[in-house]
Amino acid sequence: MSSNSYDYVKDAFAAPLGDFIASIGEGVGEAQAALDEGSLRQTLEIYNSDPDKASETLKMLREVGYQPTFYTIPKTTAKAKISLSISQQSTGNSLPSSRAFRPKMYATPVNASNTNKYNLGLNATAEIEFDIVPVPPSEAQIIRFLPNIIEKEDENGNMVKRTFGEIKNLLTEYGLNYEFGENIDQETITDETTFDTQSPAFDVNKPSMIRAEDVITLDVDV
């Protein structure tokens, strides 16, 4: 192997040390995203399914506030044997007199294959070890789609109004609160009362997102 074999392998495989570490972190992030996707899919199935067509099991899970487990990778320890090299990186404009140079460190993974092939001496290598630890997210509420609170579909496929009793049960399943609009005489409200409007409004063609503990305003037309 020629005397410039080290320069060849550095050019072919070397990467800035920061990029080398970041690429490992990116792989861990992709693995975590795959775990999150499965848990999120279960959450959406429970809380975003049509409340009138959901199975009894899903209704029960909603009522008890069940949340699928989100698995995490709490810590990843990476250890790598690398060959380190330093090169000068030009900064400033194109005029030679105004150029400044700053050193930049490059890392090349070292294994038995490229050690033998490119004659890399072990005395020119270093071993790095670092941890990748996730930052715990702030407490987030479950996000779901706003249901049609005012109406439901009966067994014949017709839309009929829900009673206030049914509305309260539905809101409990979704973890939502309610209040009455300005046209409501609260003294006349019973579990058989029906309403004409909800705010935020439901639009079957434009689903909107809500969070647990959001407030739904119930009102009637006048």
Look up the CATH number of the domain holding residue 198.
3.30.10
Distances (CA, A) of 93 to 96, 100, 104, 106: 8, 9, 18, 24
Average of per-residue pLDDT values in the chain: 74
- Tally of domains within the chain: 2
- Mean pLDDT within 142-155: 85
Range of the domain at 114: 5-132
Q: What is the pLDDT of residue 143?
A: 67
pTM > 0.85: yes or no: no
Gyration radius of the chain's alpha carbons = 31
Distances (CA, A) of 21 to 81, 83, 117, 181: 12, 14, 24, 56
Same domain, 128 and 189: no
Same domain, 28 and 76: yes
Same domain, 75 and 128: yes
3-state secondary structure (DSSP) of residue 92: coil
Q: What is the pLDDT of residue 184?
A: 93
Same domain, 98 and 166: no
pLDDT at 55 over 70: yes
Same domain, 198 and 172: yes
Q: What is the pLDDT of residue 217?
A: 96
Same domain, 195 and 152: yes
